[in-house]
């Protein structure tokens, strides 16, 4: 069995099966929540969207708002000005190009303002139950580098490396495993390496414990 399969089996054993932790009730709400979640915690996003979605939760509603109005509603989120702009632009695009409905293909989703491949992967998987790849967030990127699965630092390149190395049957679960493990064990600042179930595969750990 290849190391990557052994790693996936070990991570799966400790993964509690928790799915994405953003709150949403429609694909469009998820799209907005995913946009807001860049460099922000899911908990903070959920607090903000709980109130935001009472005021607007459709592309039609957001397309009629001014960017400054959206900014006020999401001002406790990191990079809120940029995100407000993207939410409005994407809403207008959905209204004009997709009849007001969030598109269901990777190609179409990535034409929307503020939606890159990582966000599109999350939306495809969570909203449409259609796994098209592996969403590479900060956790997936960091752990992939530590395990030597990719030397790249650009998320799209890391994803391409992972898609080449990981059999397709594992792509779905991989969307959750690295995020879960990055939060629970392989923390960016204080990784719990002695508790880590995959430390024998970790290049960084091996280097550190060599002497
Ligand atoms: S050994 Fe440490 S750095 Fe390596 S994957 Fe495990 S927790 Fe992360």
Cα-to-chain-centroid distance, residue 9: 22
State how far the Cα of 99 lies from the Cα of 81, in Å rounded to an integer: 26
pLDDT at 127: 96
Q: Give residue 108's pLDDT.
A: 98
Ligand 1 contacts CB of residue 20 (under 6 A): no
Range of the domain at 31: 27-128
Low-confidence ranges of the chain (pLDDT < 70): 1, 18-20, 211
Residue 166's domain is classified under what CATH number? 1.10.1670.10
- Distance from the alpha carbon of residue 33 to the mean position of ligand 1, in angstroms: 29
With b for 16 or more beta-carbon neighbours within 10 A and e for fewer, the 156-194 pattern comes to: eebbbbbeeebeeebbebbbbbbbbbbeebbeeeebeee
Of 96, 128, 160, the domain-final residue: 128
Token digits of residue 108: 């179409």
Instruction: Among 190, 198, 208, name the best residue to mutate to test ligand 1's pocket (greatest count of ligand atoms within 8 A of Cβ).
Output: 198
Indicate whether 10 and 79 sit together in one domain.
no
- Residue 141: inside a domain: yes
Active site residue 137: yes
* Model pLDDT, residue 18: 66
Q: Say what the pLDDT of residue 15 is.
A: 84
How many domains does the chain fold into? 2
Residue 22 within a domain = no
85: which 2 tokens? 């702009």
151 within a domain of the structure (yes/no): yes
Task: Say what angle helices 80-97 and 27-37 make with each other, to 10 degrees.
Answer: 150
The residue out of 95, 128, 161 marking a domain boundary is 128
Instruction: Identify the CA nearest to 49 among candidates 69, 66, 20, 74.
Output: 74
For residues 95 and 164, state if they share a domain. no
**CB of 112 sitting under 6 A from ligand 1:** no
Q: Which of 98, 128, 158 is at the close of a domain?
A: 128
Distance (angstroms) between ligand 1 centre and the Cα of 138 equals: 14
Is there a domain that residue 80 lies in? yes
- Scanning the structure block, which residue is given the tokens 């991989």? 174
Question: Same domain for 180 and 116?
Answer: no
Quote the distance between the C-alpha of residue 25 and its chain's center: 17
- What's the pLDDT at 27? 98
Q: What is the pLDDT of residue 210?
A: 78
Backbone φ and ψ for 176, nearest 5 degrees, come out as -105, -35
Q: Is the CB of 142 under 6 A from ligand 1?
A: no
Point out the catalytic residue in the list 85, 137, 146, 190. Answer: 137
């Amino acid at each position: 069995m290849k190391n990557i399969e052994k790693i996936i089996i070990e991570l799966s054993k400790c993964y509690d099966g928790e799915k994405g932790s953003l709150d949403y009730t429609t694909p469009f709400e998820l799209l907005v929540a995913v946009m807001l979640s860049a460099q922000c915690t899911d908990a903070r996003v959920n607090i903000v969207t709980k109130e935001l979605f009472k005021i607007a939760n459709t592309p039609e509603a957001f397309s009629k708002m001014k960017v400054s109005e959206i900014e006020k509603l999401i001002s406790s989120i990191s990079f809120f000005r940029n995100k407000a702009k993207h939410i409005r632009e994407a809403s207008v695009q959905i209204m004009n190009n997709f009849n007001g409905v969030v598109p269901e293909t990777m190609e179409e989703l990535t034409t929307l303002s503020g939606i890159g491949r990582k966000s599109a992967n999350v939306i495809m998987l969570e909203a449409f139950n259609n796994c098209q790849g592996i969403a590479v967030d900060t956790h997936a990127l960091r752990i992939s580098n530590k395990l030597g699965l990719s030397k790249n630092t650009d998320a799209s390149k890391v994803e391409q490396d992972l898609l080449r190395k990981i059999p397709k049957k594992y792509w779905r679960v991989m969307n959750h495993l690295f995020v879960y493990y990055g939060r629970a064990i392989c923390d960016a600042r204080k990784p719990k390496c002695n508790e880590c179930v995959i430390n024998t595969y970790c290049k960084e750990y091996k280097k550190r414990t060599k002497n």
